[in-house]
A = this chain, B = another copy of it.
Amino acid sequence: MSTKLEERQKQRQDEIITAARRCFRASGFHGASMSQIASEAKLSVGQIYRYFSNKDAIIEEMIRRIIDYRIAEMEDKTQTDRMPQILAWRQTLSEDDDALMLEMSAEATRNPLVAAMLVEADARMFANACEHLKKQCPHLSEERIRCCVEITAVMMEGSIYRRLTPQKVSASELEKIYREILNMLLIVN
């Protein structure tokens, strides 16, 4: 019986997160209230509160899932090889995730609680990426690994951000240059 209850609870939680994501995408951080999220999830506000004590708890879970997904995708061995392509063609795992993270980042500039969530999320991503790169490039120093991860993160975030405006150069030319940059980063120094 307990397993069925747990399954039901998990499903409810998923529904609430899905509804919250839709609300944030449609109306922005402040446009989405607990009652709007409840209405979008077709639940009462009271039901929502049984799963999440407030909007911040929903946001925390939403960010946690986005980061979990990004970390899981990093495990894909081909992703490092595909990085120049991902950057040059501005490929993304999820446009919705990117837009939600952008929304949360804008909010983080004035909301210390959301800022702390992003700090924690980035620390987790960063540690995972370092571990991952270390396995692939055991010849690199700890410091070099961290620098590579930081610069790759900068290029990933920058490329995602620039998806908001049209690409102004040939993506295949860009891909070659990104490949040179990434090769350079992974050379023993």
Q: Measuring CB to CB, which residues of chain A are less than 8 angstroms from any residue of chain B?
A: 25-31, 87, 99, 102-103, 105-110, 115, 118-119, 122-123, 126, 143, 146-147, 150-151, 153-159, 161-162, 164-170, 173-174, 177-178, 180-181, 184-185
Contact partner of A153 (CB less than 8 A), chosen from B106, B110, B158, B177, is B158
CB neighbours of A153 from chain B (8 A): 158, 162
Residue with the greatest number of chain B CB neighbours at <10 A, chosen from A29, A109, A155, A167: A109
Query: How many angstroms between the C-alpha atoms of A164 and B147 in the bound complex?
Result: 18
CB neighbours of A105 from chain B (8 A): 102, 106, 161, 164
The secondary structure that dominates the A interface is helix
Query: How many angstroms between the C-alpha atoms of A154 and B29 in the bound complex?
Result: 26
Q: Which residue of B lies closest to A158 (CB)?
A: B158
A106 B115 Cβ-Cβ under 8 A? no
A-B contact pairs, 26 of them (CB 8 A): A25-B110, A26-B110, A28-B30, A29-B106, A87-B154, A99-B106, A102-B105, A105-B106, A108-B164, A118-B164, A119-B165, A122-B162, A122-B164, A123-B165, A126-B168, A147-B174, A150-B167, A150-B168, A150-B169, A151-B178, A151-B181, A154-B158, A155-B158, A157-B161, A158-B161, A161-B161
CB neighbours of A115 from chain B (8 A): 164
Residue with the greatest number of chain B CB neighbours at <10 A, chosen from A143, A147, A167: A147
| Given known contacts A31-B30, A154-B158, A99 and B103 CB-to-CB distance under 8 angstroms | no
B119 A143 Cβ-Cβ under 8 A? no
Contact partner of A27 (CB less than 8 A), chosen from B30, B87, B157, is B30
Smallest CB separation, A136 vs chain B (Å)? 18
CB neighbours of A87 from chain B (8 A): 154
B169 A180 Cβ-Cβ under 8 A? no
CB neighbours of A184 from chain B (8 A): 180-181, 184
